[in-house]
Amino acid sequence: MPAPNPQRYRSQGRLEGVDDTVLDHAVETFERIRAVDPRITPVLTLRHLSHLTDIPFLHLRDLVGRRAHRPYKFFYLKKRIPGRNRVRMISVPNGTLMSLQRWIVDNILQFTRPHAASFAFHPDCRPYEAAAEHCGCAWLLKIDLEEFFHTVSEGRVAAVFENLGFPRLLSFEFARLTTVACERPGSRPDPGERWPAIPYYQCEHEGMLPQGAPTSPMLANLAMLKVDEILSALAEQYGMTFTRYADDLAFSCGEEYDFAHVQRFKRLVLEKLNKSGFRPNHRKTVIRGPGTRRIVLGMLGSGPIDFRVGA
């Protein structure tokens, strides 16, 4: 749904007796969102979102306040290669919340742009394109991020929506509608000073992206945007090619470099990731060099591109 014509919006608002200051703020919000991408549906408030989605406002408010009854179903899967945790928590939203999150995907997130090094989750992204970037390399560094979705807090998600042009309060409410708060190892206390004027929104634990929600993949990508920029600049500085497919990071270079060079670069990448709040899974962090199988995203396909990126 495109942003309304500002002149018509003002005229209609004045006919309905809306204050000019309110209309000015609304038009400014529309323009901020339009500057990101005119296809993003502009939303002004939680009540406006209720109108657009046909979901009762009080139910949306309960979801934001973490007071809705069982908005998620939880189950656990055993990890093939465990990191700090041996199981993976899957959080599936219920019918109403699922439809709301799909609306957010269809009307907002699908029109956003991840970093050029990211090859997952957004429209037109293909895993073989990430693998193809490393064809013919001599050295390959692979790093896996641990608890990728759960590392992205509701604060990071709110920043994503605010960067898309949405009002600050609504961005926080969007973050609450797309994250889950539950007491588990590693969960963060909620910094209650963020919205002291809204006691209904206080919650004991800060939310995180749920693995199993339709909004989580794209939001995780957008939350990684700054980290992708940092790693891309570092890779360019060290003569490396960088791609990321969700939580799988790959860096490669040619035979003009040696193991010591790649090892130094690995230490810098791990340092940057830790400073950014993302935890590498050291069990799945490897360097592959000449004479070894250098495989990206597990692809050994026999199509037009040989995904065995080295001999």
The answer to which of 57-61, 122-126, 221-225, 302-306 has the lowest mean pLDDT is 302-306
The architecture (CATH level 2) of 127-150+224-300 comes to 2-Layer Sandwich (3.30)
Predicted confidence (pLDDT) per residue in 9-66, tens digit: 777 878 888 888 888 888 899 899 999 999 999 999 999 999 999 999 999 999 999 9
Task: State percent of the chain over pLDDT 70.
Answer: 83
**What is the pLDDT, as a whole number, of residue 272?**
96
- This prediction has a pTM of 0.85
Predicted confidence (pLDDT) per residue in 74-84, tens digit: 888 776 655 55
pLDDT band for 128, please (50, 70, 90 cuts): confident
3-state helix/strand/coil string of the chain: CCCCCHHHHHHHHHHCCCCHHHHHHHHHHHHHHHHHCCCCCCCCCHHHHHHHHCCCHHHHHHHHCCCCCCCEEEEEEECCCCCCCCEEEEEEECHHHHHHHHHHHHHCHHHCCCCCCECCCCCCCCHHHHHHCCCCCCEEEEEEEECCHHHCEHHHHHHHHHHCCCCHHHHHHHHHHCCECCCCCCCCECCHHHCCCCHHHCCCECCECCCCCCCHHHHHHHHCHHHHHHHHHHHHHCCCEEEEECCEEEEEECCCCCHHHHHHHHHHHHHHHHHCCCEEEEEEEEEECCCCCCECCCCCCCCCCCCECCC
Q: Where in the chain is the domain with CATH 3.30.70.270?
A: 127-150+224-300
Predicted confidence (pLDDT) per residue in 250-306, tens digit: 999 999 999 999 999 999 999 999 999 999 988 889 998 887 666 665 543 333 334
**What is the pLDDT, as a whole number, of residue 160?**
97
pLDDT band for 310, please (50, 70, 90 cuts): very low
